[in-house]
Structure 1
Amino acid sequence: MPEKTIPILPCPSVPELVEFYEHLGFTVDLLQTRPNPYAALSYGDGIALQFYGHKSVVPAESWSSCYITTDRVDELYDTFRAALKQAYGRIPTRGIPRIGQLKDTSYGVRQFLLTDPGGNCLRVGRPTGAPPEHAPAPREPFARALHHAWLLGVSKGDPAQGARVLDHALAQETPSGAGERYRALVLRADLALQLDDPATARARLTEAAAVQLTEPDREALADERSRAADLAAEAGLPTDGDAR
């Protein structure tokens, strides 16, 4: 029997959590509601998650997390994203549950974050072959600010600090080109929604939509354009279609 590690994560309501993962396409391998709520779920041959229920769990305050490594990160992102839209009528980009942007990170992993109704954060990713983790930040001021704003606001879950870094860069520094400015504006809109500030999100997304992108830019920014469409729908703005 091959060795396998299965995370056991907490949640306040096992039935609610099971319903969420069933929407995503997970199979329920075990469901116990009494006396101790518990569920075992799987997706395909390689992804297995287990959950236990406890009323003391506060999803918004949860630090529970696990990492899922897969060669199918793009496929899973598209599948989960479509399933969430079908289940909720929109793609949840803020609050709980939510799904983050698919992104090539600065530490050599292509990944997205998925937060379930119990507040558990699933990092789903694969190595890209880029430089290893803890690669140095960019030296250019705007690129460095963009790098740190994402680390603070998304990876470390401090959108307020990430927004402050990005606001300073957008006001004081010059991006290397249209693509870098577009990335910054979309990230700032994302952070604004995390901070329950849809007015700023709408303003930054409107600015992003006005950036003149070349066709190579549009191809390189496919992930950001897809995220911008999701954010625009969440913020109540019209979209020009899905980049994915």
Structure 2
Amino acid sequence: MHADASIPALPCVELESTLAFYGLLGFDVTYKQRTPNPYAATRRGGAHLHFFGLKGLDPAAAFSTCLIIVDEVEGLHERFASALREQYGKLPLRGVPRITRMRTGQSRFTIVDPSGNSVIFIRRDEPSGHGDDGQEPQSVLAKALKTARRLRDFKNDDASAAKVLDVALKKPEAGTVAERARACLARAELAVVLNDAPRAKSLLGELDALTLSKSERGSLQDERESLERLLLRA
């Protein structure tokens, strides 16, 4: 007896370009028809996505979403990013299509396809509460970092995440020096994506001016290097 299965059917502006996009991500077309209505089925491993043509669909106003549970996300994100960078000449981080950024330890990321559909890839062993429902943050900066992370990673609302961090960073006694460093780095990354490279460089200057231990600064190194790569492509 086979287990029940659920397969999302997502709207698309145009079938061929949609299938070409998902082909970049390793999805194979298993069925396609043009008439009487455009419809196609795709598959990547155990993940199935179906698509149907929808006249008048505005990708900028689309909100269809589905989740795909996978064994790991960091390597998958890198493979997707490489394919998209090769296709578009740069990593598409804004508009449609786009891919959200990936940080070390992150448990999910989102692909937004040319029709505005969001496909969220989630690591199978993602901790309950997305990994931040352990000890409740106490300081203003720690609370802001948690809120900004959820806005950035799960709602894909970079502008709101930036505002939350801006408010916290304006307060002189908002948290520890290490928390301020993490907030500066997180806000700088958002500045790059929001097309504000000067602000990102200013925040990195603030980060460099902070008095941190060698281990504290070392813990930020991977994110710092990732941000500098983003700045080079900005």
Residue of structure 2 equivalent to 1:64: 64
**CA 1:122 to 1:164, structure 2 compared with 1: closer, same or farther past 3 Å?**
same
Residue of structure 2 equivalent to 1:135: 133
Could you tell me which amino acid in structure 2 is paired with residue 3 of structure 1? Answer: D
Alpha-carbon RMSD across the aligned residues, in angstroms, is 3.1
Residue of structure 2 equivalent to 1:86: 86
Q: Give the whole-Å Cα distance in 2 for the aligned partners of 1:26 and 1:185.
A: 38
Residue of structure 2 equivalent to 1:156: 155
Q: How does 1:15-30 map to 2 (within 5 A)?
A: 15-30=16-31
Instruction: Indicate the larger mover: 199-208 or 49-58.
Output: 199-208
Instruction: Indicate the larger mover: 182-191 or 28-37.
Output: 182-191
Query: Which SS does the other structure have where 1:31 is aligned?
Result: strand
Residue of structure 2 equivalent to 1:54: 54
Contact 2:96 / 2:116 at 8 angstroms: preserved in 1? yes
Q: Give the whole-Å Cα distance in 2 for the aligned partners of 1:225 and 1:168.
A: 22
Contact 1:41 / 1:48 at 8 angstroms: preserved in 2? yes
**CA 1:41 to 1:218, structure 2 compared with 1: closer, same or farther past 3 Å?**
farther
- 1:148-196 deviations in whole A, cap 9, x for unaligned? 1222344224333222111112221555455x44543343244345545
Count of residue pairs brought into register by the alignment: 229
Q: TM-score, normalised by structure 2?
A: 0.80
Q: 1:23 deviation in Å?
A: 1.4
Query: Which SS does the other structure have where 1:156 is aligned?
Result: coil
Residue of structure 2 equivalent to 1:75: 75
- 1:18-52 deviations in whole A, cap 9, x for unaligned? 111111222111222333122211112x1111111
Residue of structure 1 equivalent to 2:4: 3
Contact 1:93 / 1:230 at 8 angstroms: preserved in 2? no
Q: Which has the larger radius of gyration?
A: 2
**CA 1:197 to 1:220, structure 2 compared with 1: closer, same or farther past 3 Å?**
closer
Q: Give the whole-Å Cα distance in 1 for the aligned partners of 2:53 and 2:192.
A: 29
Contact 1:205 / 1:228 at 8 angstroms: preserved in 2? no
- 1:88-138 deviations in whole A, cap 9, x for unaligned? 111111211111123578xxx711111111111111112546454682641
**CA 1:114 to 1:233, structure 2 compared with 1: closer, same or farther past 3 Å?**
farther
Consecutive unaligned residues of structure 2, counting only runs of 5 or more, are: none
Q: Give the whole-Å Cα distance in 2 for the aligned partners of 1:40 and 1:230.
A: 36
Residue of structure 1 equivalent to 2:34: 33
Contact 2:141 / 2:183 at 8 angstroms: preserved in 1? no
Contact 1:38 / 1:52 at 8 angstroms: preserved in 2? yes
Contact 2:139 / 2:174 at 8 angstroms: preserved in 1? no
Contact 1:91 / 1:230 at 8 angstroms: preserved in 2? no
**CA 1:82 to 1:34, structure 2 compared with 1: closer, same or farther past 3 Å?**
same
Could you tell me which amino acid in structure 1 is paired with residue 72 of structure 2? Answer: R
Instruction: Indicate the larger mover: 131-140 or 92-101.
Output: 131-140
